[in-house]
Structure 1
């Protein structure tokens, strides 16, 4: 039964239709109503044309809604996010241009995601960079995988509306791994976590750390807006502290939870490849990815 549920969940990852039940909770989650939607799309589209600061990949309603939902329909903020997204793509084309989408399966367990989404938590993602072996692939592949995961995830209206929560698990991180965290890499990571991509991170939780935390804080603090810092929580090795913010029902057993539907991103990519359709292939190719058979 568990495996059957997971297969249904994997297939649903490619669903880009809007569920009426989802739109019922959208006013609470992202301030979306028929009125804000109509006015927001009109105002955002006019801003894009009038200011001429960026050339978005697309201009259709479904695409622009990503940015409005990510910024709770505050149109000036959604516009700034769209401009940052376009600038980010121009600045770091190596993260997507010519990247073999299915080759990113090699990142294995460095990213992990829950297939159990609740309105209060959204999609729970876990970054386990301590599992990454620099001998197997460079840090740039971690960034490429992070960007691809985001681009695929934000195709789903469910993910746009619900947003998500991130756990950064620093257990096992070595000096050699942290040495790869240049200011440029740190900036790209913060961009991928919602500064420049239309993903809404409700909160971020840093766990299982020691001395390495100081390196992280020093590198990332200058790139993260003050308002975002208010949503970052430090728990050390205290799982009870983590449980005050995230229901154990949503957490894997590793973190004192009961959720069995957490999957490594390598497996997730395999399932995306299995269930994808022509529309998915076209959208990802239009973004610059190689989508091989």
Structure 2
């Protein structure tokens, strides 16, 4: 039987539900996030008791709640939410971990809610590495064409309704790929299953604009800022066609937990990983590690 460390066991079962620490997992039958996908979430990374990029996460969460017409509680200040997250990590015995902060509309009603007040759940789980890792191991992707991402504002939010992404992940698993790339209604490539897409031609790096329906990713923002500061690279926001994938020099995906995942193969095309590795080094340089 494999060894399970007590820290992992404890963290997996401890959550913060509306400010109350609960030591067992739960599900509410009337939870609107469960019934209708009526919720949003943030995935955070804590390193040495510090939340990375927390300001960006906070403002994205507030914006998402407004777009979904949720009533934002008065106590939802940046300081309050930061302390709630850090308290859960501390009580879970974790100084570095992954956090999922889920906000959902309260019970009541069917498609039409009785009101727009909210509840929240915070979950913590251990991470293997504090710093982002650069790897040259194989990472092969394929296009997921069964369903399309919509070109509208809701697609840019981290809602609790991610059926298309789940199906894309299953497709990749069943067909021996590491992940899939999503396409939108215009048949352009928008993002990966769990990260934003960047594509390099020479010194020009392109990522889809939010109008293409890609996630408004926190790590996307950080990487775009790093590219803009590099005098040898040019950043462009423009649609990416499937044909562009086979002409590119480099592809990589970004998210807050993993940082940057270089793609090494798409169909018969193999890619370099030079800029992805460089950006990982720059990201790590900005992270205070004790």
Common fold by TM > 0.5: no
Greater percentage in strand: 2
Larger Rg: 2
TM-score range, shorter chain: under 0.3
Report the TM-score when normalising by structure 1: 0.27
Greater percentage in helix: 1
Tell me which of the two structures has the higher relative contact order, counting C-alpha pairs closer than 8 angstroms and 6 or more residues apart: 1
Report the TM-score when normalising by structure 2: 0.27
